[in-house]
Each structure stands twice: as C-alpha cells, then as structure tokens.
Structure 1
Amino acid sequence: MSTSSNTPDAPLDRAAWLATVAGLSGSLVGIGLSRFAYTPLIPPLIEAHWFSAADAVSLGATNFAGYLAGALLGRAMARRLGNRTALRLMMLVATATFFACAFPLSLGWYSVWRFLSGLSGGAIMVLAATTILPHIQPTRRGFVSGMVFLGLGLGIAASGTLVPELLHYGLRATWIGLGVLAFVLTAVSWFGWPSGNPPQADAAAPVAIASREKISLRLLYVQYAANALGIVPAMVLLVNYIALGLGWGSTLGARFWVLYGLAAIAGPVLNGSVVDRLGAARAYRVGLIAQIAATGIMVATANVFALSLATIIFGIFTPGMVTLALGRIHEILPHDHNAQRAAWSNATTAFALFQMLGGYFYAWLFAHTEGDYTLIFLIATASMVFALMVNLADAWRERRGEQAVANPAD
C-alpha cells in the first residue's frame, strides 16, 4: 500500500481513504455495534424473559472480559497471522456473534458469544489505528485517527436508531438485522486494510524512554483504568436506568441512547480541538472534570434536562477519552512509533481490565442492592475523582521537573 504525498496537508490518496474507511468500519462493527448495541437491548431482553435483570447486566460484563482478552491477544494474533488477516478474522467473528445471539439457547451459549464479541472488539481497538496510521502521512494522521474512532459514536447512534425500529419485528429480527449490517461493513472494509509492513520512512530507530517518561506513562495507565471504572455504568446501565430505574419506558431510554450516540459522533472532533489548544495532558484533565460533573448529575437529580446534559457529556467523552489518551501517549513519546504502539497496547489493556472488573462488580452490586443506581453512579464519580487526582499529581511532578531543569542550582 502506498502512502499519500508528503506535501503538508496534501489530500489522502485512494489507498489511504480505503484504509480510513476500513478502520472506521472496524471500530463501528467491533465496538460501536458489538458492545453499544447491547445496551438498549437490555430492557427488551428482560421484558421478553430471555434473561433475568441480573443475567442481562452480567452478559454486558462478559463482553468486557472478552474485550480484555482481545486487547491482550491482539498483537500476538497480528504477529502470527499478519495485521490484515487478523483484522478481517475479527470482523467476521464480530459479525457471527450477532446471528448467534438471535437464538437464546442458554445463558452459557449467550455468554460465549458475548465474550467473542468483546474479544473481537478489543483486538480491533489495539490493531486498527496502529495498522493504518504508519501508512498515512504525518500531517494527516490526526484526521485519520479521528475518523477511525468515529466508528464508536456512529455505532452508538446507529444502535439507538436501528434497535427501536428493528424491535418492532422482535428480538430475533433485531439481532439478525444488526448481523446483516455488520456483514455489509465487513465486506466494505475487506480490501481496505493495509497489507505489508509500514513504509520504511516511518520506521525510526527506537529511542530510549527516560525515567520521567516512564512515570508519566504509568500514571496515564492509572488514570485511564480509573476512567474505565467510572464510565462503565453509563455504557451499560444508562438506558436501563432511564427505562426501568426511573420508569420512563424503553422508548425514552432509546432516545437518550441516540443523544448519547450523537454526542459521541462529535466527541473525537471536539476533543481534537481541545488538544490543539491546551495539549493532551490538560485536555485529558478537562475530560475528567466534565465526566465528574456528569456522574455527579446522575447521583443528584432525576431532572430530564440535567440527565440530558449528563448524557451528552458521557457521549462526548466515551470515544473522546480514547483520542485524548492516544494523544497523551504521542505527547510523552513524540519520536518513537514502536514505543507509541507498545504504550497504546498497554493503555488499552489497562482500560479493558478495569472495564471488565467494573462490569462484573457493578453487575454484582446491581443484583445485591436491588438495582441501586445511585450507589453505582456514586462509585463511578469517586473513580473519576481519583483519576483527576492522579492527573493533577502528574502535572505537579512535571512542573517540578521543569523547574529543576531551569534552576539546577536550586
């Protein structure tokens, strides 16, 4: 696959556009639909007596466990099969899970397919951007990265609009309809994934990572993990909370999910603008503060306008924090693409681990507190506050380091 011209701001060539569309399709199928389409389906699954409330929430956590496995195994799959083949295989697996979930043979059957759904999403998250971006000229990588992660928001919006329409034909038809959409997107992306190794011009010699940079990376992993623990309730329980917790019905719950999805579409662009103005570290801090406000709203009020605002914030930063975390890694390691890829894999694994732990913990808490949403969102708020404290500690440490360099005599 050839790269675009090295001229600054030159348009992407055909191969680059095909790769971008493939990346967007991958994140849309593997995460946008595979994970987020399940959230508005939880109330119908319960109401149709396919599963109990506790089991339906637990199946969401099983998807998180698969996501962790995919994040851990993604790079190994790519080494064994090649990035292109691994990505194609994962999209086929994700597509198959939709058709399998149309048949609720047992809880065990569903658990296996929800796990595989998560596994494909985790592998795609680790591999998609790092497969595509080395083939894109540096001046266009920010745009392409945003387009790839845009698939998350499009998936949320699509699930919020398609699922209610498909549900008119029944749960089985809904799963099959999502499977058909995933199959079409898999076909669209099939020849777009780059083949071969990245261009040699991008394969810079490894740069030794200083101890200060290592500390910054580790603190970022902690922030990203705590962020995962804080965002899980909105990702899994938002529709259930609106529809059943507040008793406002599945239709209004689906509308909140559409609002969440529309905000998620805007998230990568908005966060990219903030990064340009403030830098990734400060932009990440802004994201944490906004999410603290959103989770606090979920605890404090049941006002429809306040909950709408909180939903918009959640939507903006669900994919937005992915963009900010990747931007922060590039900020810490600006010259070593290999180190950036390794750090991104580590960050994704940390996020996936605490997303899984949070999913199972919240499912257990949901089952043993008779659906105490307030407690769940309170714990999510505390997780976000902890992440912010770590962010502030890292900023203070960096300022001290800069002062020490500027005033060595001190």
Structure 2
Amino acid sequence: MTGSSPQTPSRNSHPLYAIFAGLCASLVGIGLARFAYTPLIPSLIEAHWFAATDVIYLSAANLVGYLAGALAGRPLGRRITSRRTLQLMMLLASLAFFACALPLSVSWFFAWRFLSGLAGGSIMVLVASTVLPHIPGERKGMASGAIFLGLGLGIAASGTLVPLLLELGLRETWIGLGLLSLLLSLLSWAGWPNAGAPQAAAESPSKSATPIAMRVIYLQYALVAIALVPMMVFLVDFVARGLGWGTHTAGLFWVVYGLGAIAGPMAYGVLADRIGFAAGNRVALVLQAFAVAALVLSTQPWVLVLAVLVIGSFPPGIVPLTLGRVQHVLAANPAAQNAAWSRATTIFALFQALAGYAYSYLFAASHGNHALLFSIGGVAVVVALVADGLLLVGMARQRRAMA
C-alpha cells in the first residue's frame, strides 16, 4: 500500500484510533476547509474585505487546489510516506485558516485558499489507503464511512458552528476554525498507522484488469460530481427565493442537508458491508434520483424535507461506496487500487470544478431557474444508473460466453 513498507516493524496504533485520525483528516482538510467558506461569503462582502466579484472568484481557489492535491497526493506519499504527508497536510489546512484571518490582498487570500484545497485533495487520495489496510475485511465499509464522516460533519458545521463564531467577528471566526483544525491535527497525530520508509513508485492500474468496470466507475464518479453540485450550491437560494420561504426557513433546510451529510457515510458504509459496494452504489443512485425528482416536482414541505435529507447524504456517502468498488474490482492488485482511487479523485475534482462554473453560467443565463439546474443534476444520476445497468448486462453476457 502507498506509504507502507513490509520491512518496517509494526508499531501501529489501535484500528479505532486510526479511523479517528482519518475522520479528523477529512473533517479538517475537506469538511471545514471547503464547506466553512460558503456561510462566510456574505460576511466577507459586508465587512468589505473584498469586492463581491473577488469573493466568488476566491471560492474557486479551493476547488482548483483540490484538483492539484489529487494529482500531488500519491507522489508526496511515495516521497515522504503517507503518514507524514497526512500529518503535514492537516497542519497546512490549519495554517491556512490562520492566514485567512489577515485580508492582506486578493492574491494572498487566493494562495491560502488554494493551499487549503491542495491539503484536502492530498488527504482524499491518501487517507483511505493509509487506514483501511489495518481494518478487518468485514468492517471495511463501516470504517470507510467513518473516515469520510468528516465531510458530513464539515457540512453540518458550516450551518451551525460558523454562524456562532461569526457573532465574535469575521477575523475571530477564521482563527477559531484554525484552532479547531490544529486541535484535531494534534489529537490525531499519533493515530496514523506506521508508514515506514518511502515506497517506490506504485504500479498503475493494468489496462487488462477489468478495464470496462473501471471505466464505468470513473464515468459514474464524474456524473456524480456533476449531479451533486446544483443542490449543494443553490439549495439555500432555491428555498429562500425560488420558493419564497425566506432565509430562516432556508437555513433550516441547510441544517437538514447537514444531518443527511452526517448520516450518509456511515449509513452507506454499513449498507455496503451487508449487500456489497456495487449494490449499495445502485441503491444510493436510485434514492438520489427519486429525491431530486421530488425536489423539482413537489412544493410540499414534508416531501422537500425528506428529499433534502436524502440529497444531503449523497456527497459524503458516495465516497466510501466508490472507494469500495475500486478496491473490489482491483482486489488482486493493492498498488493498482491506490492509483485507480487517485485517478477517480482527480476525475471527480475536475468535473466538480467544471460543473461549478457551468451551473453558474446557466443560472445567470436562465435568470435563476433552479428547476433547470436540479433537473440536469437528476439526469446525470439517471445516466450513471444506465451505465451501471449496461455494465451488469455486459458482465452477464461475458459469464454466459465463458460457461
């Protein structure tokens, strides 16, 4: 596995401590570093730290950095070990919060937001391959869900913790987030499994090893990135202005979204342990398709609450499912698993960034048509399901031909 050495004596921490370290890393590097920025946007504009156009421009810096981190994570892990890379990336994300408390210039802010994204992308690539090899096979789904629970906690914190910190002031909010991230970094420092010496270059996924299955996984992950963006970005505005229910009700819906985000990783992970990662992925996609349809077609509050709860579970919940599918398809080649997961993360980051800009353009061009954006996201989910169905048909035909 990336960052491990068979010659190194085992001095690893308890598996539960390793899972806790993974959770802290995903919470700091992605959950807080990415999602805590959204509720800060109005305050950044109102406090005249930057112009409104600059604030939106700065929001993209983290996504660009995330893509860079997805590309750089494995090379860093090979050079200085995965354990050390994860520790340093958590410290970098913490330092970025403190740096953002000083609005020296747009370029200064962009650089630190980029670095926070770099930390998050590197963490996403390395965290699972560092922790999961030390977890029993029958618990890998639940453990994977627990690791990526940090994404859900970050989404929830963006709607609860950040508003509380903002009562102290904008600068104090950045410092508070930095102190929390630093604390989590220190608490998890000794929890990472011993990585040993830097590893030689890992093997890339073989082109002859189940190429169709891996291509479908990559395609589905790209479609998932396209699907989740409109709900994640425009949900609050849809409730507040699209439905005319006001900002207070919109805030409550974001809390519901956060509750779904907390429940998603563990729920889907446990589901995968019971029925398998591929079947669990289909269940998640079907639930998402129905939830998006309900969001577009219904105006009943209780229907929308249930839909938002399911939709919120999807962004963090689909991560352990996709990771598990990659590991299952390439079960005989651990090095190829790491390379394939790095590639999947890069694909996801790229299409998420592209989708963010595309949806923003469509939102302006359609004069704020939320239903159009949500419908496009729903179509992406349906296409992902169709691709999965075609894969099942192809595999069935292959088995019959071999019989």
TM-score (normalizing by structure 1): 0.86
State how far apart, in whole Å, the 2-side matches of 1:42 and 1:131 are. Answer: 34
Alignment of 1:152-163 (within 5 A): 152-163=151-162
- The answer to which of 98-107 and 16-25 deviates more is 98-107
1:91 aligned partner:
90
Render the CA deviation track for 1:203-250: whole Å, top value 9, x for unaligned: xx9899574611100111011011101111223333344345545454
Q: Is the 8 A contact 1:91 1:186 kept in 2?
A: yes
State how far apart, in whole Å, the 2-side matches of 1:289 and 1:346 are. Answer: 25
Alignment of 1:394-405 (within 5 A): 394-405=391-402
1:25 aligned partner:
24
Q: Is the 8 A contact 1:33 1:159 kept in 2?
A: yes
State how far apart, in whole Å, the 2-side matches of 1:332 and 1:254 are. Answer: 41
Q: How many residues align?
A: 393
DSSP 3-state at the match of 2:14: helix
RMSD across aligned C-alpha pairs, in angstroms? 2.9
State how far apart, in whole Å, the 2-side matches of 1:141 and 1:234 are. Answer: 29
Out of 370, 387, 392, the residue aligned to residue 390 of structure 1 is 387
Alignment of 1:172-191 (within 5 A): 172-191=171-190
State how far apart, in whole Å, the 1-side matches of 2:299 and 2:99 are. Answer: 37
Change (3 A) 1:317 1:148: same
CA shift, 1:258, in A, is 2.4
Render the CA deviation track for 1:78-105: whole Å, top value 9, x for unaligned: 1222212211221111112222333444
Give the % identical residues: 52
2:229 aligned partner:
232
1:322 aligned partner:
319
- The answer to which of 90-99 and 360-369 deviates more is 360-369
Change (3 A) 1:382 1:161: same
2:3 aligned partner:
none
DSSP 3-state at the match of 2:36: helix
Residue 298 of structure 1 pairs with residue 277 of structure 2: no
Q: Is the 8 A contact 2:13 2:193 kept in 1?
A: no
Change (3 A) 1:306 1:171: farther
Change (3 A) 1:188 1:171: same
CA shift, 1:42, in A, is 3.4
Q: Is the 8 A contact 2:70 2:125 kept in 1?
A: yes
State how far apart, in whole Å, the 1-side matches of 2:150 and 2:124 are. Answer: 11
- The answer to which of 254-263 and 206-215 deviates more is 206-215
CA shift, 1:335, in A, is 2.6
1:9 aligned partner:
none
1:201 aligned partner:
none
Residue 364 of structure 1 pairs with residue 374 of structure 2: no
Gaps of 5+ in 1: 5-12, 199-204
Change (3 A) 1:63 1:253: farther
Divergent runs of 4+, >6 A: 1-4, 205-208
State how far apart, in whole Å, the 1-side matches of 2:38 and 2:162 are. Answer: 10
2:259 aligned partner:
262
State how far apart, in whole Å, the 1-side matches of 2:165 and 2:309 are. Answer: 24
- The answer to which of 175-184 and 22-31 deviates more is 175-184
1:352 aligned partner:
349
